[in-house]
Structure 1
Amino acid sequence: MRWQRNIKENNIKCNNEHLVHLSNPNISEMKEDFLYHFNLGTGTHDLQAMFGDVKFVCVGGSPARMKAFISYIGEELGLAQPGMDHPNICEGTDRYAMYKIGPVLSVSHGMGIPSIGIMLHELIKLLYHAKCSDVVIIRIGTCGGIGLEPGSVVLTRQATDSCFKPEFEQIVLGKPIVRSTDLSDDLNQELMECAKEINEFNTVMGNTMCTLDFYEGQARLDGAFCSYTDKEKQEYLQAAYAAGIRNIEMESSIFAAMCGASGIKAAVVCVTLLNRLKGDQISSSHEVLLEYQKRPQKLVGRFIKKRLGGKA
Structure 2
Amino acid sequence: MSSDEELDEYPDGTVRLRNPNIELMDQDILYHLALGSESHDLISMFGDIKFVCMGGTPKRMEQFAYYIMEQIGHKLPAGTTLLDISQYSYRYCMYKVGPVLSISHGMGIPSVGILLHEVIKLMYHARVRDPIFFRIGTCGGIGLEGGTVVISEDAVDGMLQPFLELPVLGKLIRRPAKLDKKLCRELRALAQPDDPYETVTGRTMCTYDFYEGQGRLDGAFCDFNENDKMEYLNKIHKSGVVNIEMESLSFAALTHHAGVKSAVICVTLMDRLKGDQVLAPKEVLDEWQQRPCTLVSRYIKRYLSMKGRLSLDGHCGSMCVKSPRRFKLVQQESENYD
**TM-score for the superposition, normalised by structure 2:** 0.86
Partner of 1:26: 21
Superposition CA RMSD, Å: 1.4
User: Which region of structure 1 is more displaced relative to structure 2, 28-37 or 79-88?
Assistant: 79-88
CA displacement 1:179-224 (0-9 Å, x = unmatched): 1112001111110111136633211110110001000000000111
Q: Please state how far the C-alpha of 1:84 moved relative to its aligned partner.
A: 5.9
In 1, the alpha carbon distance for the partners of 2:36 and 2:120 equals 13
Partner of 2:109: 113
- The code of the aligned residue for 2:81 comes to D
Task: Find out whether 1:283 has 2:279 as its counterpart.
Answer: yes
Q: Please state how far the C-alpha of 1:231 moved relative to its aligned partner.
A: 0.3
Partner of 1:212: 208
Partner of 2:53: 58
* Contact 1:60-1:108 within 8 A present in 2 as well: yes
Indicate the SS of the match to 1:17: coil
Partner of 1:46: 41
CA displacement 1:111-160 (0-9 Å, x = unmatched): 00111100000000000000000100000000000000000011111110
Indicate the SS of the match to 2:140: strand
Partner of 1:3: none
Task: Find out whether 1:96 has 2:92 as its counterpart.
Answer: yes
Match of 1:143 among 121, 139, 143: 139
Structure 2 gap segments, 5+ residues each: 1-9, 312-338
User: Which region of structure 1 is more displaced relative to structure 2, 104-113 or 84-93?
Assistant: 84-93
Q: Please state how far the C-alpha of 1:29 moved relative to its aligned partner.
A: 1.3
In 2, the alpha carbon distance for the partners of 1:186 and 1:212 equals 28
Match of 2:218 among 218, 222, 226: 222
Give the length in aligned residue pairs: 298
Q: Please state how far the C-alpha of 1:64 moved relative to its aligned partner.
A: 0.5
Indicate the SS of the match to 1:18: coil
Indicate the SS of the match to 1:171: strand
In 1, the alpha carbon distance for the partners of 2:55 and 2:250 equals 14
Match of 2:252 among 256, 265, 271: 256
Q: Greater relative contact order (Cα 8 A, min sep 6): structure 1 or 2? A: 2
In 2, the alpha carbon distance for the partners of 1:37 and 1:198 equals 41
Task: Find out whether 1:171 has 2:178 as its counterpart.
Answer: no
Indicate the percent of aligned positions where both proteins have the same amino acid: 52
In 1, the alpha carbon distance for the partners of 2:85 and 2:43 equals 14
In 1, the alpha carbon distance for the partners of 2:64 and 2:36 equals 25
Indicate the SS of the match to 1:179: strand
* Contact 1:71-1:80 within 8 A present in 2 as well: no
In 1, the alpha carbon distance for the partners of 2:303 and 2:96 equals 17
In 2, the alpha carbon distance for the partners of 1:272 and 1:126 equals 31
- The code of the aligned residue for 1:62 comes to T
In 1, the alpha carbon distance for the partners of 2:292 and 2:21 equals 37
User: Which region of structure 1 is more displaced relative to structure 2, 15-24 or 285-294?
Assistant: 15-24
Indicate the SS of the match to 1:253: helix
Q: Please state how far the C-alpha of 1:43 moved relative to its aligned partner.
A: 1.7
Indicate the SS of the match to 1:162: coil
**TM-score for the superposition, normalised by structure 1:** 0.93
